[in-house]
Structure 1
Amino acid sequence: MKICDMKLGLRLGLGFGVILIFLLAISAIGVIGMRKMDAGLNQIVKTSYAKIQLANESAKSVNTIISSIQSMILASDPAVRQEENKHIEASRLQYKAAMDSLEKLEDSTQGKELIGKAKQSLEAARKANNEVIALALANNGSRAAVVFEKEAAPLDARIFTAFNELVKYQEAGITERYEDAVKVSGSSRTLALMIAALALILGAVIAFLTTRSISKPVNALAACADKLALGDVDLVIAIDGKDEIAMLAKSFRNMADNIREASLAAEKVAQGDLTVQVTPKSAQDVMGKNLSAMIAMINGLAKEMDALIKGVQEGKLEVRGKADGYQGAWGELVSGINRLIEAFVQPISVTANYVDRISKGDIPEKITETYYGDFNETKININLLIDAMNNATELAKEIAGGNLLLQVKERSANDGLMQALSAMVKNLTRVVSDVKSAADNVTAGSQELSSTSEEMSQGASEQAASAEEASASMEQMTANIRQNADNSLQTEKIAMKSAVDANESGIAVAKTVSAMKEIAAKTSIIEEIARQTNLLALNAAIEAARAG
C-alpha cells in the first residue's frame, strides 16, 4: 500500500503510535532495570538496602510522574493524556507508600530530618505538577510546558536533591553494593538512550515522510489555486491516491473543469458565437446560471438590433427598441440606440419635407435648426438649394418683365438650369432684335410704298390696272403688318410663358426651349413677309417706271 493511499488520520496515528511504543519501551526498560536492582539489593541487605530501595522507589515514582507529565504535555491524543494521568496518580500512591515505609524503617534523627525534607519537597512539587496536569488535560500544552519548566521542574529537582541526600546517608556503609546498583542503573540508562535514539531517528523518518506526503500535494494544489486566481484555467492536477488530499484534488479538478467550461463559453460569446449553450451544474451553480442568463440576454439584444436594422432598412423610421425589457446597462444600450435613430430621423424628416415642397414649387424658408457634423452639411446644402431656387425664380421674373439685360451666372460647370436661362435670355434678345429689325424693314418698305403711291396717283388713267394691283399689294402689306403685330404679341406671350416655366425647374426649361423654337418659326414668317413686301415694292417700282 502506498503512503498516499492511507488516510491522514491513520498516517498520523501510526507515526505517533510508533513513537509511543518506543517511549513505553524506554519506560519499561527503566522499570525492569530498577526492579532488578531493587531485588538484588533486597537480597543483600535487608535493612540498609531496604531504605535505599524505598528511597529509590520514591525517586522512581517521582521520575515516572515527571515522565508522564512530559508525555501529557507532548501528547495530542486525549486518551493518552488520561492514561498518563492515571500513571501519575498511581506513581503518587507508590512514592507515598514508599515514604511511609521508609519513615517507619528509619530511626535516626538525621535520617528522619532527611525524610521530612524530602516530603516537604514532594508536597511543594505536587502542587506545581497539579497545575501542569490541569493545563495539559485542558489541551493547553504550550502553557503547561512553560509552567512545568519555570515552576514544577525546579521543585522536582529539589525532590531529587532530598532523595540523593537520603540515599547518600544510607550509602555510607554499603559503598560497594551501591556501585553495583549504579552499574545496573547505568546499563538500563544506556539501553533506554539507545532505544530513545532509535525512536528519534525513526520518528524523524516518519515525520519527514508524513510531512512530505501532505505538503507536496498541498503545495501543488496551492500553486494550481494561484494560477486559477490569475485566470489561468489550463491546469494539470496530477495528484493520485485515496487519502483526503487526493479527494480534495479531485474536487479541485472538477472545479477547474467547470471554470474552464465557463471561460470557453465566455470566449465563444466574446467572438460572436451566440449559439453556445451553458447548462448549470446544479441549483447552486450561480456562475453557470448567470452565464446562461447573460447569453440569453445578448441573444435577445441581437434579435432586437436585427429588428431595428431591418425596420430602418425598410424605411420604417418609427420603429424603436424595447428598452423596458432589459435591465441596467443593457436597457441603457437599447435606449441609446433609440436615441441614435431619433437623431437620424429628425433631420431626415426635415430634409424630406423641404425636398417635397421644393419639388412642388413651394420654396420654403431656410432651415434654422442647429445640427452637427454631416447633418449640418446637409442643412447647408438644402439652404443653398433654396437660395438657388429663389435666385432662379427672381431671374425668371425679371425675364418675364422684359428685362433682357440681366446676366445669368452659372454656379458650376454642371449648372444646367442657369445655362438654360442664360441661353434663353440670349435667344430672346436675338429674337427681339430680329423682330425690331423686321419692323424697321416693314416701316421702310411702307414709306417707300407710300412714295411710290404718290407718284402713281399722278399717272394717267391707263395706269388704273397697275394702281389696282398696287392697292391689292397695299392690302396684302397691311395684312402682313397686322400679322407682324400679332407675331410680336405672340412672342411676348411666349417669353412670359417661358419665364413662368423657368420657375418650375427642369420642366420649365424644356418648355422654354420649345417656345424658343416656336419664336424662331414665327421669325421666319416675319422674314418671309418682309421679303415678299420687298418684292412687291420692287414690282410696283418697275410698273411705275414702265408707266412713266
Structure 2
Amino acid sequence: MRFISNLPIGRKLALGFGVLVVLILATGLDGVRDVRRMEGLIDAMAAQHALPALDLREANVQMLFTSRAVRNALLDEDPAAVARRAGDIARYDSAFDARFASYARAIVREEQKVMARDVVARVARLRPLEQEAVAAALAGHPETGRALLPAMRAQADSIDAIFDALTASKVALMQDEIATADEESRDAVLVMLAFLAVATGFAVVTALGIGRPIVRGLREVAAAADGLADGDLRQRITVTSGDEVGQVGRAMTRMIESQQALAQVAAGLSAGDLGVAPQARSEHDALGHAFTGLHATLGRLIAEMRTLVEAARQGALATRADADRFAGAYRELVQGTNALLDAVAAPIDETAQVLDRMAARDLTARVQGRYAGDFDRIKGAINTAVTTLASAMEQVHVAAEQVMSASAQVAGGSQSLASGSSQQAASLEEVGGSLQSLAASATEGAASAGRAQQMAGAARERVADGRQAMTQLSDAMDRIRASSGETAKIVKEIDAIAFQTNLLALNAAVEAARAGDAGRGFAVVAEEVRNLAIRSADAARSTAALIEESVTHARLGVELNATALSRLEDIDREVGRMGEMVTTIAQAGASQRDGVAQINDAVDEMNGVTQQVAANAEESAAAAEELSSQALVLNDLVASFRTGSGTDRAEAAPSGAAGPARRRVSPARALAGAA
C-alpha cells in the first residue's frame, strides 16, 4: 500500500480503471454467451414444440369445422346451400391434412408418432361416412345422412380423445423444456452476479484505496487554504504521501509558515512594536522586502510625530516635521500634518485676541481671517456670539428704560384696580342677596311641581283601574252573549223535539182510531202527549224570543262598553301627557333651583376673588416701584459696555422707551375702565 500511495495520481487511476475494465469485459462476454444460449433454447422450443402445438390445434379446429359443415348440410333444404357445404368440407379436409402433416413431421417421440398414425387411420374411416351423408343430402335424402351421424360422432369423439392426449404430451414436453431453460437461466444469472460482485467489490476497493487518500489529502489542503484565505494562520497539514497531493501539502505548509512569520511582524507593527524586524526569505521574496521597507518608514514617521507631539505639549505650535525624509503618501501625510498645525494655529491666535478684547468689555472686536470648514464655523460662531451679546446689551438697555416707564404705569393702574375691586365687591354682595330670594322662590316652585306630578300619577292610576274594569266587563258581556247563543240552540232543539212529539202523537191517534175500542185508551194518552208537545213548542218559542232579546241587549251593552273603554283610553293618554308636562315643569324647577344655587356660589366666589384682586393690586404697585429702581441699576451696568452703536442708541433711546410705554399703558387703562 505504501508503494501505491507514493505513485502519481494518474498511474493510480490508470491501474484501478484498467483492472475494472477487464472485469467489466469478462462480465459482458459471459452475459453475451448466456444470451446466445437462451436464444438457442427459445428457437428450439419454438421449432419443436410451439409451432407443432399450433399446427395440432389448427388441425383440430379444421376437423371441427368439417363436422359442423356436415351437420349444416344435413339440416339445409336448399341443394345449392348443400353444394356449398360440400365445397367447404373439401377445403377443411385439405387444411386439416396440411396442418396435421406439418405436426407429424416435428414429432420426436415414438408414442406420439403411434398416436398420430392412429389419428390418420381414424380420419380415413370418418371421411367416407361424411361423404356418404353429404351425398345423401345432395340427393334430397337428408334423413339417410342423419342416420350416419352416430357413427360419425363416435369416430370424431375418438379422434378428439387422441388430440387431447397429443396436446397433453406436447404441453408436458414444453414444460420440461421450460424447466431446463429456467435452470440454465438461473445458472447464467448466478455466474453474471458473481462477475458483477467481483467487479463491484474491486471498484469499491479501488475507489476507497485510491480515492480516499486523495480526497482526504485534498480536503485537508482545501480546509487549510480556506482558513488561510480567511486569515486563519493556525492551519496544520499532515499529508505525507509522495504523490501530487503530498507535494501540494508540503508547499502549503511552507507558505503557512511564511505567512505566520509575516503576521507576527504585522501584529508587532499594528501594536506599535517596531522591535521585531521582518526577514526576507530570498531575493525574490517581494512581500518580505516590502515589510522591511514598511518597518523602516514607520520608524522614521513615528520619530517625526513624536517630535510634533512633544512640541505641541510645550505650546510650540510653530514646530514642523521634515517632509523631505518621506515619499508618496507618507510625504503627503507629513505635509498634511504640518498644514493641519498651520490651519489650527492661525484661528486660535486670532480667537485669543478677540476674547481678550471682549474681556475688556469691548464688544466691537471680530475675527477677520478667512478660514474653511469647521474653522469657518468657529469664526462664524464667535462673531455671531459677540454680535448677539452686543445686540443683547443694547436690547437690555432699551428694556431697562421701558421697564422703568412701565413700572410707573403699573403702579398707577394697580391703585385704580384696587379701588374698582372694592366697588365691585359691594355690588356682588347686593347681587348675592337678590339671588338668595330667587333661590327660595325656585325651591318653592320645584316643590309645587313635584306635588302636581304626584297628583297626575294618582289620576293616571285610577284611570288605568277603570279601563281594566271596563275591559273585564266587556269580557263578561261577551261570555253572556255566547251563553245566550248556546241556550237559543238548546231551545230550538226542544222546539224540534216538541214538533216530532206532536207528529208521533198524531200517528198514535191515527193508529188508535184504527184499533177501535181497543185503542181508545191509547188515543187519550196520545192526545195528552200531543197537548204537552204543543205547550212545549209554545214555551220554547217564548223562551227563544226572550233569549234573542237578551242577546240583542248584551250586544248593545258590549258596544257601549267598548265606547266607554275608548273614552277611558283617551283620558289615560291625556292624563299621561299632563303627567309628562308636570314632570318637565318639575325638572325645570329643580334645574332652576340648582342653577340659582350655582350662581349664588359663583357670586360668593367672585366676591372673594375681587377682594383678593384688590389686595394683589396694592402689592403690584409696591413691586412696580421696586422694579423701577432695579431697572435704573441695570441701565447703568449696560452703559459700561462698548457695542459700536452708542450714538445711535443714545438718539433712539427716548423714542424706544416711549413706544413700549404706550403699549403698556393700554392694558392698565383698560383694567381701570373695566373696574
Scaled by the length of structure 2, what TM-score is found? 0.28
Larger Rg belongs to: 2
Scaled by the length of structure 1, what TM-score is found? 0.34
Q: Return the structure number with greater helix share.
A: 2
